[in-house]
Each structure stands twice: as C-alpha cells, then as structure tokens.
Amino acid sequence: MTRRHEPVPDLHVVGVGACRLEYVDLPAAVADQPALVFLHEGLGCIGMWRGFPDAVAEVTGCRTVVYSRRGYGGSDPFDAPRTPRYLHDEALEVLPVLRGALRLDRVVLIGHSDGASIALIHAGAGRWPVDGLVVMAPHEFVEGVTLEGISAAVRDWEATDRASRLGRYHRDPEQVFRAWSDTWLSPAFRAWNIENYLPAIRCPILAVQGEADGFATMAQLDAIAAKAIAAPWVEQLRLPGCGHSPHRDRQSEVVDAIAQFVRRLRLGSTSR
C-alpha cells in the first residue's frame, strides 16, 4: 500500500549520490555552536519526530537539521534489498556525504534507536569530527527482548490498521515496515554488533533509555558506559516507566537533558 506522506513545513531536498533526501534545516539562533543532526528510528522520518527537534532547537539555539533516510518519508524509495550492514552503510557512506552537501562541519548527532546506532558507528569510525552524541534507546547488539518486541510488532501490523497510520508519513509504509522487521528478525542479523566502535568515540555522550523499553534492556547503556573509554564523559538518563521513545514519552525531561548537555559542551567540561 502506498500513500502520500504528511507534508512538512520548510521541506528541502538534497542530492546524496543518485538519491534525493528530504530535509528540514532550522537556522541557528546562537552563533558558534555545532549543528544538531537528527537521525530517526527504523520506522521513522522527519514528520514522525513531531515537534521534538523544534523544541530542542529552541532551547539550544543551534542550527538543527532533520532528514529522512532513503525509503522513508518523502525521500527517494529503496533501490536495493536491505542487508545486515544497512546501519553501517548509512553511518559510513550516506551521512558523510550529507554532511558535506549541507556543510555540517561541527555536529552533535541526536539519534533514536536505529538512528542512535548510526550515530555511534559514525563517531566511532574516527573519520569525521563529531562534537557530541545524544543516543536515545540505542542498539549496540541484538537482544532477545528486541526480537520479541519486533515479533510482537509484526503481529500487530498484520492484525490492526497500523499500516494505514504509518502511511500518513511514508510513500510505501509496507516496504518501510518489512525492511525493518525482516532485517532484524533474519538469522543473518543475529550476530550484528557495533561494540567495537565504542572505544574509538572521542566525544561526549548522553545516553537515554526508558526502563520500560520493550525493545532493549539497560545492557545497551551499560555497554556504552563500559566501552566508550575515550569519550571525555558519558552521561546517562534512565527514565522509569518510559518506553522505547523517550523523546515522546518524556519529552520535557529529554529536551532539558539535551539543553544541559549542549551547554556543557559549550563550556568545554572534560570530566567523565
């Protein structure tokens, strides 16, 4: 089923290789700060962030860029079957080109779920400057609870009108959902692991997760705290009663935490 995605104000298009990606670019209100780049989750896009990027932009004064990955929202459709390296491909091939095209020299990457993993890979590759990372509900490895949560999402997809609801945001919601669920539930993805990128991250990290997350446990945050040994500091925000989307479930707390994190970056604190 293909539907027209919801329009987003001030939408632009940028070419990344042969692909055209939609993006929103909110100008900075305060000079000499890194830009914030929002990286969405496995079923997300610009529109599904709702007002969260705007709220963060308002309290930080930073230039704020939000984009939809290929196949999502109004960006160009998928052009090939997805592989277990799709997050690596985004982090190591697409995001660097996007940064160059939009002149994003100094950045704080703000990622949710899949987007958080992309942020960790990009920073951990050590090839591009990153001022800071905000990772919400990140994945560094596959857990049993993750597979259980995705399996439950598949049952929900097949039994409800979720496809219709997701169709408000994506050109082809069925393809978006199946690309995500089929990849994560495939035997080839069970060994997916990005913990080897953590020791090379050399920027501060704010890691956020809900204690009631149905797709991951706190082992994900524990791995970042234990293995991101070169990061100047690692902050954690563990939210009781919060699910897999802290920026929606507890928006005000998360916005405040990001504002404090960006302020701390500006002040140049180095305590871990």
pLDDT digits (tens, 9 = 90+) for 47-104: 999 999 999 999 999 999 999 999 999 999 998 889 999 999 999 999 999 999 999 9
| CATH code of 180's domain | 3.40.50.1820
Res. 2: pLDDT tops 50: no
Q: Answer whether residue 1 is part of any domain.
A: no
Tally of structural domains, the chain: 1
For residue 15, being part of any structural domain is answered with yes
Q: Is the pLDDT of residue 31 over 90?
A: yes
CB 136 within 8 A of CB 116: yes
pTM for the model stands at 0.94
Which pLDDT score, from 0 to 100, does residue 9 have?
57
Nearest to 221 by CA among 204, 238, 233: 238
Q: What pLDDT is stored for residue 269 in this prediction?
A: 52
| Residue 189 included in any domain | yes
pLDDT above 70: residue 271: no
Closest Cα to residue 213, out of 238, 186, 179? 238
In a domain, 3, yes or no: no
Domain hosting residue 80, numbered range: 11-267
Alpha helices in the chain (DSSP H): 52-60, 86-89, 95-101, 114-124, 144-159, 162-166, 173-185, 219-227, 246-249, 251-267
Does residue 174 lie in a domain region? yes
More confident residue, 179 or 1: 179
Q: Is the pLDDT of residue 272 over 60?
A: no
- Using pLDDT thresholds of 50, 70 and 90, give the confidence band for residue 219: very high
Mean pLDDT to the nearest integer, 181-210: 98
What is the pLDDT, as a whole number, of residue 7?
A: 46
217 within some domain: yes
**Does residue 192 have a pLDDT over 50?**
yes
272 in any annotated domain: no
Is 88 within a domain? yes
Q: Is the separation of the CB atoms in 16 and 65 below 8 Å?
A: no
